[in-house]
Structure 1
Amino acid sequence: MSEPERIVIIGGGLAGASAASALRAQGYSGDVLVLAAEPHRPYELPPLSKAVLLGDTDEPDWVHEDGFYAAHDIDLRAGVAATRIELGSRQVFDAAGEHHRYDRLLLATGSYPRSLPVPGSDLPGLRTLRSLEDSLALRSALSEAERVVVVGAGWIGTEAAAAARKHGAEVTVLDQAAAPLRDVLGEDISAVFRELHTDHGVRWRLGAQVTEFTGGPEGVRGVRLSDGTELAADVVLVAVGAAPRVALAHAAGLELADDGAVRVDAGLRTAAPDVYAAGDVAAHFHPRYGRRVRVEHWANAKHQGGHVAGNLLGAHEPYLRVPYFFSDQYDLGCEYRGLADPDADELVIRGELHTREFIAFWMVRGQVTAALNVNVWEHGDALQALVDQQIPVDADRLRHADLAELAGQAG
C-alpha cells in the first residue's frame, strides 16, 4: 500500500491529536489536516471533572504545547467543524464552506453527554459536563450554590459530587441504579464509594426515577421523582453517560454497531475504503474479548489515536490494549485496568475494603480479567502485567504473595 498524500482527521480531541502527532513521529511527510469543532487546541478531558472543577486550575491538560501543531506542519483548524463526508469522492466539507480531499480519513469525533427525555430537559441552566466551557461554567455555579442535585452516579456524577462538596454545597446524587458505579465495580466495591460520599455529607436517592425538571424561563429549580418528591436545587447536573458522536458517519453511510458507535475491525478500520475511527466514537472488535468494545476513557482515546497512525500509513495491526481509567474523589484515588463482568467474575480483595486502601481483582478460570487499586500505588506495573498477560494465578496468592513475582517482574 502506497503512502497517502493527504490524511484528514475529523475531531480535535485527544484521539485526533494523538493520531496527528504519531503520524509525524513515524516520519509521515504528507498533508495532515485536523478539523476541530472546539475553539481550543486539543486538550484532555479528565481534569474537567477533577482539577478544573475543583478550582485547582483554570486550564485542562493540553495534548501539546501551544505552537506544536504549526511546528510539526499539522494543519489544525480550531473552531471549524466538519459538516459532511462524501465517501465516493473522498471529500470532507466543513462549516467554513471549504471541502477537503483525503486519501485516508480518521473519524475521532468523540461523544456527547446523554440527556433525559423528560419534561423540563430544555430548561435554561440544566448542566452537563463535557467541554472546558462546561467545566468552568459548572464550577462558577457550584461556588455560589447552596443545593446541588447530580443525576447519575457514574464516574462523572460522583467526581462532580465530590467537587460540589468541596465548594460547600449540599449535594444529593440520584440514580435509577441501586448503588453508585454498580455496573462497573459490583456491589462490594460500589459500597466503598457510597460510604465515602456519605462520610463527606452527600445524600443518596438511589433507585430513583426522574420524571421532570422543574423551573421556568429563569432556569431549572429542581428535580421531580416518580414518587412525587421534588428536590429543590440551585444547580442540576445531568451525568447519565455519553453517546458516540456519529451524525457525520451515519449520514455518510458508514456502518454502525449495535451500540450506535462506528463499527471498526481490530485495526480500527471501517468497512469503507481508507476510513478509520478511533476513541469514543469507535466500536472496536477486540481480539482478546472476541467482541466489540467501546471505551469512553482518556487512555483509550490516547492509545487508539497513536495506534491508528500506523494503520493510516499502510499497516494493519490490531489494537490489543485493555481498558484503563482512573478517578480521584476526596482523598480516594484509584486506577482500573482490564474489563470485568462484576456479576459473573470472581472478586478477590487484597487488603481491607473499610480502610479504603486495597486492590480488587476480578478473575475467570484462574486468570485476572481486571484489577482496581485504591490508594495503593506501588504495584501498577505488576497489575498491568497480570491483566495483560493473563498469567494463571490462584486467589490466595493474589491476596498474600508478592505481586511483582506473580507477574514475573522480580529482579
Structure 2
Amino acid sequence: MGSEIEKTFKFVIVGGGIAGVTCVEQLSSKFPSEDVALITAGPHIKAVTNYKQVSRTLEEFDVEEKPFSVLQEKFPNLTVIHSAVKSLDTRSHCLETADGRVFGYKKLCICSGARPKLLTQENPYVLGIRDTDSAQEFQKQLSKAKRIVVIGNGGIALELVYEVRGCEVIWAVKDKAIGNTFFDAGAAQFLIPSLEADKAEVAAPCKRQRYTTEKPNPNAAHTFTADEYSRGQKPGGVQPGSALGPDWHRGMELKGAEQVSRRVSVEYQCEVEQILTSEEFLVSSKQTLKPDTGSWPVYVQLTNGKTLGCDFVVSATGVVPNTEPFLHGNNFSLADECGLQVNDHLMTSEPDVYAAGDVCTACWEHSPLWQQMRLWTQARQMGWYAGRCMAADVLSEPIELDFCFELFSHVTKFFNYKVVLLGKFNAQGLGSDHELLVRCTKGQEYIKVVLSRGRMVGAVLIGETDLEETFENLILNQMDLTAYGEELLNPNIDIEDYFD
C-alpha cells in the first residue's frame, strides 16, 4: 500500500449488511469516545427493526434498508466510508479502499457477506437474485415474461416460485423434494398443494382443531421417491441464505405477461447441463428433441434429458463467501466452502481480525444442537457477538460463547405458513441413530420431531402450532421422553402442561 494512512480507527468494520451493522452498533455504543469506522460499498445499510425475542433462542425481526446517515446520526463517534475494499495488509493493520484511500485499524471485523453462485457469469438471460438491485431487475424482466426456469432449492427459490404470478414457472431442483435445505420430503409434500392452489383459494393456515395422521396421498400428482419419513435421512448440502430481507418480495409485484395466476411445475433430481442461446439451440444436435413449439431467447438443457425454452433463467443455487479483496498477501485459514475460519471468539487466523456472518465459517467445536446455516438470524447473532468479543479483547475481559450458539433456531415463512426450525431439524449428522415422529393436518400444520436415544434433538413446525417454546425447552433440557412415545404428538394431550 503506497499511500499514507489517512486515519487510524480503534475499530473498523467492513460490510453494511446485518452482521456488520449489528457489530457497529454494539461497538459504537460500548465505546462512545473511540473512533469506529464502517466501510461499505453501497449507499444503504441493512438495519434490524421490530426485533422480538420470541423465546430463549428464537427471535423474529424485519430487515430494512436505510441510508447510512441513519447510523451516523445515532453514533457521533462513527465514520462511514462509502467505498469497496481493494486490499488488506494484516501486518501493517491497514486497508486500502477502491478510491485509493488508506485507513488503519486496531481491531478489524470482516462482515462482507456472500455473493450468489451463478450458473454462468456471461449470459444476459441468467439472473441471480441476491440484493435489492437484482430483485428489481428480476421484477422488470418478469413483467415481459411468459415462462421462466428457476434453478435451486434454497430459501430464495422457495419464496420466488410461490410469489410469481402471470407466468409459467418451471422449477428444477437437484433433490428428491423441494426445500430440502429447510425440511424433509414429508414437509415438502405438505406444502406442495399451496403451489397448485390460486392465492385467493388458500385460506390462511389456522389453529389445529382435529387430529389426523393423514399421510400424503401416494397417488397425488407429485410423488416423492424418498421414503417420506425415512429414518436416518441425510440432509442435502446446506445452502446459504440471501442478502435480501426475509420478506424481500413484500411490496414488489412479481407478475409476468400472461393472464394465468400461478403455474408451477417441478423437475426433480436434475441439474443444469448447459444453457443455450436460441442460435445455439437451433444448430445443436438436440434439435430433434424440439421441446416446444415457438422460439425462446434461451434454452436450458437439464441432466434428466429435457431441454426447456424460456424467457430467462433464475439462478438461486446458493452463495459463495465474499473473501476476495482480503486474501492477497495475507495468511487466512479458509474452510472448505472458502469462508474465513473463525474460532469461538469469531477471530480469524490473522491477529486482530474478526469475521462474522456469511463470510465466515464457524470452526469451533459446535454444540451438538447447533449448526451454521448462512441465514439472517445467524448474521445478526454473529455480528452482535463479534462486537462483544472485540470489546472484551480490548478491555482484557473473559467472554463465554454466547447462548445463541447452544441451539440452532430459525423462524421464517414459506408459502404463507409460519415455519420454525429447531436443533437438528433434518437429523443433520445423526446418521441412522434417530427416529422421527410426525403429525400432519392437511392445509393446517405439519409437525416433525427428531428423537435420538429418547431425547428430542430437533423439530420442524409448520403452521400456527404454538409448540415452539415447549419443544425448545424439551431440546435444551434433554429430558428422556421414552415414556411418552407416540403420545408426544397427540393433540388431545396438552403437552405444554407437562413441560412448561
Distance 1:368 1:248 in 2: 43
How big is each residue's C-alpha offset from its partner over 1:102-149, in whole Å with a ceiling of 9 and x where there is no partner? 1111011111111226xxx52113111111111122122223321121
Distance between the aligned counterparts of 1:266 and 1:358, measured in 2? 35
1:398 pairs with 479, 488, 495, which one? 488
Q: Which amino acid aligns with 2:98?
A: A
Is residue 2:351 matched to residue 1:348?
Answer: no
Q: Which of 314, 317, 324 is the equivalent residue of 2:400?
A: 317
Which of 364, 378, 382 is the matching residue for 2:466? 378
In structure 1, how many angstroms separate the alpha carbons of the residues matched to 2:33 and 2:450?
A: 45
TM-superposed CA distance for 1:259, in Å, is: 2.7
Pick the aligned partner of 2:37 from 33, 39, 42: 33
Of 415, 420, 427 in structure 2, the residue corresponding to residue 330 of structure 1 is 415
Partner SS for 1:115: coil
Residue aligning to 1:241: 318
Letter in 1 for 2:469: D
Counterpart in the other structure of 2:161: 161
Amino acid across the alignment from 2:390: L
Distance 1:238 1:278, change over 3 A: same
Does structure 1 conserve the Cα–Cα contact (< 8 Å) formed by 2:320 and 2:337?
no
Matched, 1:213 2:275: yes
Return the TM-score normalized by structure 2.
0.70
> 175, 178, 203: which is aligned to 1:177?
175
Q: Distance in 1 between matches of 2:183 and 2:418?
A: 15
Contact kept in structure 2, 1:151 and 1:174, CA below 8 Å: yes
Retained in 1: the 8 A contact 2:342–2:364? no
CA deviations on 1:11-60 (whole Å, 9 max, x unpaired) are 11000000111123334531111111223122579xxxxxxxxxxxxx96
1:288/1:320 contact within 8 Å kept: no
Distance 1:244 1:98, change over 3 A: same
Note the aligned Cα RMSD (angstroms).
2.9
Distance 1:96 1:44, change over 3 A: farther
How far the C-alpha of 1:292 sits from its partner, in A, is 9.5
Which residue among 73, 82, 87 is the counterpart of 1:84? Answer: 87
Judged with a 3 Å threshold, the aligned counterparts in structure 2 of structure 1 residues 403 and 85 are, in CA distance, closer, same or farther, namely farther
Q: 2:299 maps to which residue?
A: 222
Query: Which letter does structure 1 place at the counterpart of 2:354?
Result: Y
2:79 to 75, 92, 95: 75
Change (3 A) 1:262 1:289: same
Cα 1:298–1:269 change in 2 (3 A) is same
Conserved? CA contact 1:268–1:276, under 8 Å: yes
Change (3 A) 1:168 1:371: same
Equivalents in 1 of 2:495, 2:142: separation in Å? 42
Q: Could you report, residue by residue, the CA deviation over 1:239-261 in whole angstroms, capped at 9, with x for unpaired residues?
A: 11111112234323211122321
Distance in 2 between residues matched to 1:362 and 1:63, nearest whole Å: 40
Larger radius of gyration: 2
Q: Which moved more, 1:232-241 or 1:20-29?
A: 20-29
Report the secondary structure of 1:363's partner residue: strand
Cα 1:337–1:28 shift into 2, 3 Å: farther
Distance change >3 Å, CA 149–CA 204, structure 1 → 2: same
1:33-91 deviations in Å (ceiling 9; x for gaps): 1111223122579xxxxxxxxxxxxx96237986233321322224x111111111111
Q: Which residue of 1 aligns with 2:285?
A: none
Q: Partner letter of residue 443 of structure 2? A: T
Stretches of structure 2 that go unaligned for 5 or more consecutive residues are 1-7, 50-61, 199-262, 280-295
Q: Which residue of 1 aligns with 2:378?
A: 300
Instruction: Indicate the percent of aligned positions where both proteins have the same amino acid.
Output: 21
> 1:14 corresponds to which letter in structure 2?
I
Match of 2:266 in 1: 204
The amino acid across from 2:494 in the alignment is D
Report the equivalent of 1:192.
Answer: 190
Q: Secondary structure at the match of 2:458?
A: strand
Structure 1 residue 273 displacement after superposition? 1.4
1: CA distance between counterparts of 2:47 and 2:277? 34
For residue 143 of structure 1, what is the aligned residue in structure 2? Answer: 143
Q: How far apart, CA to CA, are the structure 2 residues paired with 1:100 and 1:240?
A: 36
Q: CA deviation at 1:10?
A: 1.1
The aligned length equals 384
Indicate if the aligned counterparts of 1:109 and 1:245 stay in contact, CA closer than 8 A.
Answer: yes
The question of whether the paired residues in 2 share the 8 Å contact of 1:249 and 1:262 is answered with: no
CA-to-aligned-CA distance 1:153-211 (integer Å, 9 cap, x gap): 222111111111xx221111002222112354222223223343244541011112312
Asked whether the equivalents of residues 297 and 309 of structure 2 are also in contact (C-alpha less than 8 Å), the reply is: no
The 8 Å contact of residues 85 and 248 in structure 1, kept in 2 or not, is answered as: yes
Whether contact under 8 Å (1:15, 1:305) holds in the other structure is yes
Among residues 246, 250, 261, which one is paired with 2:327 in the alignment? 250
8 Å Cα contact 1:255-1:271 kept in structure 2: yes
Residues 357/96 of structure 1: CA separation in 2 closer, same or farther (3 Å cut): same
Tell me which moved more, 390-399 or 367-376.
Answer: 390-399
Aligned to 1:20: 24
Structure 1 residue ranges without an equivalent (≥5): 46-58
Amino acid at match of 1:81: A
- Using the size of structure 1 for normalisation, the TM-score is 0.84
